[in-house]
């Protein structure tokens, strides 16, 4: 009898806790939307509903729409589901619909469709909600503009994991069967037609920011990179292959300094690709090919190239070749 009474008491207490937490979660989401609207955002939704009793809180936000006029970024979808353990809402999973989502940057709008698109957020306990881990995984996906597919793939896995230093995060990515649009393949093709899909597209690097990522990163100021340790970036696309490793320091103006080591197979195709994409001025292609050809001959294989991409004093060089001003690495 005592055990039964104890179980009933525990059941009632847990039910009260679940209901109170569900009420707090719904009101917290509604308050966040109101706060963004008061800051000048467009922040709207149709309705909120929470279920998942007794062990989870599953809150569905119907027809969410967010737009930040300061950055020109906007997003909308048919629904968004937030799923977390009832014991700790900081281990959050965001599930997105398979129906189209619209992501805009000023007057440019991309339509995203993805099967099983899910984001995971693991937040540290506390008011700041510091990010410990974030992941984005998906099955088949595509991004389109003006009714035509721009990018697509069979699977996507992106992760950002906090390291021992709280402001440092390891970022990794793997895109299966990544496919650029057909017009880009024709434009960038060198001598032979490029395959429809990449054979390999992976990324592994660690970035130390000036502050950890927490709730203020969305509401106030984005953390800015201060050092980048590139363990590996690799792309294999038909006969073209590019691998990169290296390290960069980034100053307060976003200017990088350091070196990235590049290994390129069929490098002439990459030079032609850079020219056709606009990354290399047409007048520089001949000089670049002559200098890189000499460097490739010195390495013993004229088709392959080992060279360094250097960043210093606001400029970038490819081996001995000056390429121009270095990009500013600033997160808006």
- Which candidate, 107, 63, 102, 54, places its Cα nearest to that of 81? 63
Q: How far apart are CA 19 and CA 11, in angstroms?
A: 12
Domain count, the chain: 1
31 sits in which H/E element:
helix 2-38
Examine residue 284 and state whether it is found in any structural domain, yes or no.
no
Residue 184 is predicted with a pLDDT of 67
- Which candidate, 81, 51, 50, places its Cα nearest to that of 63? 81
Examine residue 107 and state whether it is found in any structural domain, yes or no.
yes
Residue 218 is predicted with a pLDDT of 76
Residue 281 is predicted with a pLDDT of 73
Examine residue 297 and state whether it is found in any structural domain, yes or no.
no
- pLDDT tens string, the chain, 332 residues long: the values are 677 778 888 888 888 988 888 898 899 899 999 999 998 999 999 999 999 998 999 999 999 999 998 888 999 999 999 999 988 888 889 999 999 999 998 888 999 999 999 999 899 888 888 999 999 999 999 999 888 888 999 999 999 999 999 999 999 999 999 998 776 666 665 555 678 889 999 999 999 999 999 988 877 789 999 999 999 999 998 878 889 999 999 999 999 999 999 888 877 777 777 777 666 777 777 877 787 777 777 766 777 788 888 999 999 988 777 878 899 999 98
List all residues 6 or more positions away from 148 whose beta carbon is below 8 Å from its beta carbon: 181
Examine residue 169 and state whether it is found in any structural domain, yes or no.
no
For residue 18, the tally of other CB atoms under 10 A from its CB is 19
17 is in which domain, residue-wise? 1-114
Contact present, 270 and 263 (Cβ < 8 Å): no
Instruction: Say how far residue 273 (Cα) sits from the centre of its chain.
Output: 24
Question: Is it true that the peptide bond before 54 is cis, omega within 30 degrees of 0?
Answer: yes
pTM over 0.85: no
Quote the tokens at residue 5: 């009474």
Residue 192 is predicted with a pLDDT of 58
Whole-Å CA distances, 196 to 103, 193, 237, 297: 25, 9, 9, 31
Examine residue 44 and state whether it is found in any structural domain, yes or no.
yes
22 sits in which H/E element:
helix 2-38
């Amino acid at each position: 009898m005592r055990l039964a009474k104890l179980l009933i008491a525990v059941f009632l207490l847990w039910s009260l806790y679940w209901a109170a937490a569900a009420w707090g979660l719904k009101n917290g989401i509604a308050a966040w939307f109101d706060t963004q609207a008061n800051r000048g955002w467009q922040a709207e939704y149709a309705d909120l509903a929470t279920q998942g009793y007794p062990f989870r809180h599953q809150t569905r936000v119907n027809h969410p729409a967010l737009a930040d006029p300061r950055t020109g970024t906007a997003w909308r979808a048919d629904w968004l589901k937030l799923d977390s353990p009832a014991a700790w809402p900081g281990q959050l999973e965001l599930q997105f619909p398979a129906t189209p989502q619209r992501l805009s940057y000023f007057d440019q709008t991309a339509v995203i469709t993805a099967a099983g698109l899910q984001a995971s957020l693991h937040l540290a306990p506390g008011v700041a909600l510091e990010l410990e881990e974030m992941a984005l995984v998906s099955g088949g996906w595509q991004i389109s503009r003006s009714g035509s597919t721009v990018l697509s793939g069979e699977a996507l896995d992106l992760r950002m994991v906090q390291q021992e230093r709280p402001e440092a995060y390891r970022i990794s990515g793997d895109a299966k069967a990544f496919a650029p649009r057909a017009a880009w393949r024709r434009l960038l093709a060198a001598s032979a037609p490029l395959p429809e899909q990449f054979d390999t597209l992976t990324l592994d690097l660690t970035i130390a920011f000036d502050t950890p990522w927490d709730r203020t990163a969305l509401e106030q100021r984005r953390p800015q990179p201060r050092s980048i340790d590139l363990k590996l970036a690799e792309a294999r696309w038909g006969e073209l292959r590019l691998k990169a490793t290296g390290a960069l320091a980034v100053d307060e103006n976003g200017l990088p300094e350091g070196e990235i080591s590049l290994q390129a197979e069929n490098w002439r195709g990459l030079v032609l690709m850079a020219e056709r994409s606009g990354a290399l001025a047409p007048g520089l292609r001949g000089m670049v090919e002559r200098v890189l050809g000499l460097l490739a001959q010195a390495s013993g294989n004229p088709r392959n190239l080992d060279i360094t991409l250097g960043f210093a004093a606001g400029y970038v060089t490819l081996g001995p070749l000056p390429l121009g001003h270095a990009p500013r690495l600033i997160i808006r």
